[in-house]
Structure 1
Amino acid sequence: MTLDATRSTLSNAQTVLRNETVKGGKNEGKMGKDEFMNLFLTQMSNQDPTSPMDSAGMTAQLAQLGSMEQLEKLNKGMETLNKTQTTVASYQALNFMGKDVLLEANELVLNQGSGQPVYYDLDSDAKDLKVSIEAKDGSPVLTESLGLTPAGKHRYSWDGLNDRGTVMGDGLYKIRLTATKADGTSQELTAFNSGRVGQVEFKNGEAYVTAQGRKLPLSQIRQVDNISQRVFGNARPLPLQKELKPMGPLQNTKE
């Protein structure tokens, strides 16, 4: 093996090892420190005697080996940290059980002819707000114009009727909100709806909550509330009894 070929092979191997180490990939089928050292020794044993590697180049390559070892340790540490954080986040999701949450979901549930309220937020006034409701298969159900809508948080409730005034069947429907601004530009709004979390499930390292019969990732929760705590906090104390009779004197039971 010639010196140039050996150096070329070593250089390519170093590049591959450096890239894979930074990515934090598995070691299967990839070069590690042992392979690096073997290539380094091969280069040393096949170097040109008339033009040996200088001490600076040798030191640089050995320093690179040490750096790669540190990167491997760092990657392993980061993997452990990520797993720990995922576990902690998953267990924290259990705190959502029984809580009322606001979910990011462009859907609504129709139950007994009454549509689940949908919430949306406008960052500026809209000269018109268009509501489009579709069935699960994408077929149109209702198109409604709400007209001028000021900036702020709003709530929309569907009466369960389609464009022809026919009562639709219960189930899950898609909803799309489009705001037309004063300058004529259109903006698709995100619809939110509320529900109480009845179940928490963990799958592929991610937590999912079940609310209103739908399973959604934890990342789609935008607000957490607790109705029972609100009711308790707003409860009024019972009125004092005004017609209390005074208790008689205590009797001495000593004989």
Structure 2
Amino acid sequence: MTTIQTPPGYVSQDLMNTVNAKKGSTAGASVDADKDKFMTLLITQMKNQDPMNPLDNAQVTSQLAQLSTVTGINQLNTTLESLKSSYQSSESLQAATMIGHGVLVAGDKVALAGGKGIMGVEVGSAADKVQVIITDPRTGKDVQVIDMGAQQPGITPIAWDGVPDPSQMGADGKPVTLRDGNFLIRVVATRGEEVLKDAKTLSFDSVASVTTNPKDGVKLNLPTLGVVSMADIRQIL
């Protein structure tokens, strides 16, 4: 009589290959297919076992436990994929409603047009004093300091009129306004003598369109600031 000795760990290796599928194979094979594969391997192993050295209960129990693990992983993957798809659909609908709306995102620039500009500040912890400093990038000089006083944690939008000094009048008798264009902004927040590190400036832009794909998820297209994710939006105006 010819006896085929089954190498130890034979079934275990096949189960591991099922979990760690190679590229090009069908990802996430069905749970029923995994069970059928396991039972085929187990029956083959039992048919060809050495009668003088049969499988013991510990081996069979271990292999059954591995089957349970593989089955659970596949079911979890299926559930996660379903949740991911549902979340992306919900996020797409939410993003679509933002088209045409103004938003604040992390940034260090403010655009001034016709004496109007919008920016924002996000303070992570309570500050005794918050100042926004505006710099002309052409000269590198600070042109205005906006004193916001004490601020609690949160986001504060700022409407800027581009008037550095209301007391300075032009030939037309109106306050001198800075030229239109982009200016740099930075924030200095302090509490007592401590300079806080959790305060940052926010730039303004509007949502022009929304892009959705399975790989990158939902992206918002901003005319000036480029492509951002939903998580990058700090406030909708």
TM-score category of the 2 structures, normalised to the smaller one? 0.5 to 0.7
Q: How much has 1:120 moved relative to structure 2?
A: 1.4
Task: Report the Cα offset of residue 105 of structure 1.
Answer: 2.3
Q: Deviations over 1:10-59 (max 9, x none)?
A: 444544545x48xxx97728897366556545543554432211245324
Q: Aligned partners of 1:65, 1:7: CA distance in 2, in Å?
A: 17
What's the TM-score once normalised by structure 2's chain length? 0.62
The equivalent of 1:84 in structure 2 is 86
Give 2:119's aligned residue.
118
Query: 2:197 maps to which residue?
Result: 187
Q: Which residue of 2 aligns with 1:65?
A: 67
Aligned: 1:155 with 2:152: no
Deviation at 1:132, TM superposition (A): 6.6
Structure 2 counterpart SS, 1:96 = coil
Superimposed CA distance per residue, residues 99-144 of structure 1 (whole angstroms, 9 cap, x where no aligned partner)? 3x44122133434475723221443234574637585xxx983457
Shift of 1:208: 0.8
Aligned to 2:230: 218
Answer 1 or 2: which has greater strand percent: 2
1:1-255 pair list within 5 angstroms: 6-15=7-16, 17-18=18-19, 20=20, 28=25, 33=34, 36-37=38-39, 39-41=41-43, 43-45=45-47, 47-55=49-57, 57-99=59-101, 101-112=102-113, 114=115, 116-122=117-123, 123-126=125-128, 129=131, 131=133, 133=135, 141-143=140-142, 149-152=149-152, 153=156, 155=158, 157=160, 159=162, 170-171=181-182, 173-203=183-213, 204-210=216-222, 214-225=226-237
Count matched residues: 211
Query: Normalising to structure 1: TM-score of the pair?
Result: 0.59
Unaligned 5+ segments in structure 1 are: 162-166, 226-255
Q: Which has the higher contact order (CA 8 A, sep 6+)?
A: 2
Root mean square deviation, CA, Å: 4.3
Distance 1:91 1:76, change over 3 A: same
Name which of structure 1's ranges 188-197 and 30-39 shifts more when overlaid on structure 2. Answer: 30-39
Counterparts in 2 of 1:160 and 1:12: CA distance versus 1, 3 Å: farther
Q: Equivalents in 2 of 1:46, 1:132: separation in Å?
A: 81
Query: Taking structure 1 as reference, are residues 36 and 210 closer, same or farther at Cα in structure 2, changes over 3 Å only?
Result: same
- Higher mean displacement: 125-134 or 101-110: 125-134
Q: Does the aligned pair in 1 maintain the 2:15–2:70 contact within 8 Å?
A: no
Q: Secondary structure at the match of 1:150?
A: strand
* Pair 148,189 (structure 1): closer, same or farther in 2 beyond 3 Å: same
Take 2:16 and 2:139, find their aligned partners in 1: how far apart are those partners? Answer: 56
Which structure 2 segments of 5+ residues have no match? 165-177
Task: State the one-letter code of the partner of 1:50.
Answer: M
Contact 1:177/1:189 (<8 A) preserved? yes
Residue 89 of structure 1: SS of its match in structure 2?
helix
